[in-house]
Amino acid sequence: MTDAATRPLRLAIVGLGTVGAGVIRLLETNRDLIARRAGRPIEVIAISARDRSKDRGLDLSAYEWVDDMATLAQRDDIDTVVELIGGADGPALTLARQCLSQGKPFVTANKAMIAHHGLDLAHEAERSGVALKYEAAVAGGVPVIKGLREGAAANRIMRVYGILNGTCNYILSTMEQHGSPFDQVLDEAQAKGYAEADPTFDIDGIDAAHKLSILASLAFGTEIDFGSVDITGIRHVLAADIREAAALGFKVRLVAMAECEAEGGDNVGLFQRVHPMLVPLDHPLSHVDGALNAVVAEGNFVGRLFFQGAGAGEGPTASAVVADVIDVARDEYGPAFAMPAEWLQRQVKADTGQRIGRAYLRFQVEDRPGVLAEITAAMRDAGVSIESVIQRAATADEGVLVAIVTHPGALSAIDDLLRRLGGSDSLLGDPMLMHILD
C-alpha cells in the first residue's frame, strides 16, 4: 500500500448536535473495524460548533476545538471537513465553498444546502478534483444516494418516489392508529422529540422537497431544480380523510414523487411533487409506518428497487456520514451527481395538467338537500367521473362529509372541477384533493 493510503485520514467535524455527536460516537465505537474497511485509520483532529461549553454527553478533550471554522479549509493537517451544522446558506455554505475551492474533500448531511446549491458545489468540487459527499442528506441512514449513483447507475430511471420525511410519516401513522386530529398529534410528536419546535419545514413538505430534488437529479441526470417542486404539506389532512381513505382501501402518506418524461430517449419535462397521497394497501409504501423513510426507484433494466430504513436520528444519520468518510479514505468517489456537473441536463417543468391519474376529493358540506347533486353536476361539467363515493351523516365538527374517488383522468379536469365549485356556499371550507398512487 502507498503511504497516502496507510496514513490516517484526518477529519474536522463542524457541528456537534444530534448528527455531529453521533459521528464522533460512531467513529470511536467502531474505530478498528472502520480502519480495516477504509484501509487506514480515520482520526478526528478538530471539532467546532457554536458553544464550546455545552455538555454533549461526550468526552471531547482529545480533540482540538476550533473557534474560527474558516481556518479549517487552509489547514494542511486536515484532509477532509465534515459539515453537520445545517441551513441552506450561512456558515455551512461558506464553509463548503471555502473547503471545495481549497481542494479539501467535503462531507455533509445538509439537504437544504445541497438542494439549493448542490450544482454549484459539484462544479467547484470537480474544478478542484475532490469529493463532495452527501449520503445522509436524503433518507438518513438509508443508502439511497449510493444505491442510485452506483447500484442503479446502468439504468434509465423512469420514476423515483418515496416517503422522505419521518416527522410527517409519524404524524400520519399516529393519526391513523388513534383517529386523533393533526394538531393534537403534532403536539405529542413535539413533546416526544419526533418534531422540531418549529415544524414548518417538515409538515409543509419543504424538507421532503429538498430531498426529492436531490434524488431527481441523481435518478435522471438532470440539474437539481428545487424551485420547480410542487409542494403541499399535511396540515390540512383530517382524521376523517384517513378514516375514509381506509374505508376505500388506502393509507394516507406524504409522498415525494419525481418523473422525467422522455421522448425518443431524450428527457423533455421534469415532474416533481410532494403531496399527501392515497397509497393502496397492497403497495409497499403503505407499510412504511412511524418515522421510517422509504424510496422506490424504477429502472428500465433493474425493475423496481425499494429502499427502506430510519430516515433520521443520531445513529442512522451518523452511519451514512461515516460511510461517506470511508469512501473518501478509500479515495473512492466520483462526480457528486453521478456524472460531470456540466453533463446534467436542464429540464423544463412538465405540464402536470396532462398527467392521468385517480384522485380523492373530500368535501365538507351543508346538511341540506341538493348539495351532493351540485357536486356531481360540477363533476359532470368538468368531465370527472366517479369510481366510488362515501357520504357521512353530519357531525358537530365535520358537517356532512363527502369523500369521492375518481376514475383515471387528466388532472387538469380535477383543477377545473375545483374552480367550478370555488365559492359555492354549499361547501364548508376548502375541498381536500389528494392524488392516488397507482
Ligand X SMILES: NC(=O)c1ccc[n+]([C@@H]2O[C@H](COP(=O)([O-])OP(=O)(O)OC[C@H]3O[C@@H](n4cnc5c(N)ncnc54)[C@H](OP(=O)(O)O)[C@@H]3O)[C@@H](O)[C@H]2O)c1
- Angle 77-79-82 (CA atoms, 0-180°, nearest 5)? 120
Q: Check: CB of residue 360 under 8 Å from CB of residue 278.
A: yes
Report the residue number, 24 or 131, with the smaller CB distance to ligand X: 24
What residues are paired with 43 via a beta bridge? Answer: 10
> Helices (DSSP H) in 192-238: which residue ranges?
200-203, 206-220
- Tell me the C-alpha distance between 227 and 407, whole Å: 31
Number of Cβ within a 10 Å radius of residue 89: 11
Active site (annotated) includes residue 211: yes
Nearest residue (CB) to ligand X, 11 versus 239: 11
Q: Which is nearer to ligand X, 20 or 205 (CB)?
A: 20
Q: How far is the CB of 170 from ligand X (least distance, A)?
A: 13
Closest C-alpha to 318, from 71, 58, 126: 58
Q: Which of 104, 133, 211, 251 is catalytic?
A: 211
Q: For residue 173, what are the contacts with CB-CB under 8 A and spacing of at least 6? A: 289, 290
Query: Closest approach of Cβ 307 to ligand X, in Å?
Result: 15
Residue for grid cell 449510493? 146
- Give 111 or 149: the residue with its C-beta nearer to ligand X: 111
Shortest Å, Cβ 338 to ligand X: 20
Residue ranges binding ligand X (CB under 6 A): 15-20, 48-51, 54, 84-86, 91, 109-111, 136, 140, 312-313, 317
357's CB contacts (< 8 A; 6+ apart) are 408, 409, 411, 435, 436, 438
Q: How far is the CB of 15 from ligand X (least distance, A)?
A: 3
Rounded distance, CA 260 to CA 228, Å? 13
DSSP state of 349: B
Report the C-alpha gap between 130 and 11 in whole angstroms: 15
What cell does 249 get?
382501501
Closer to ligand X by CB, 76 or 198: give it. Answer: 198
Q: Which is nearer to ligand X, 49 or 295 (CB)?
A: 49
What's the closest the beta carbon of residue 401 comes to ligand X, in angstroms? 36
DSSP class of residue 148 equals I
As a whole number of angstroms, the distance between CA 364 and CA 129 comes to 58
Find residue 434's DSSP bridge partners: 360
- How far is C-alpha 424 from the chain's CA centre? 36
Are the C-beta atoms of 364 and 428 separated by less than 8 Å? Answer: yes
Residue closest to ligand X when measured from CB atoms: 17
Closest CA to 135 of 412, 366, 325: 325
Minimum CB separation of residue 28 from ligand X in Å reads 17
Grid cell 357521512 — which residue?
392
CB of 20 to ligand X, least distance (A): 5
Instruction: State which residue, 51 or 198, has the beta carbon closest to ligand X.
Output: 51
Distance CA 102, CA 131 (A): 12
Minimal distance, residue 86 CB to ligand X, in Å: 3
Which is nearer to ligand X, 106 or 250 (by Cβ)?
Answer: 106
Catalytic residues: 211
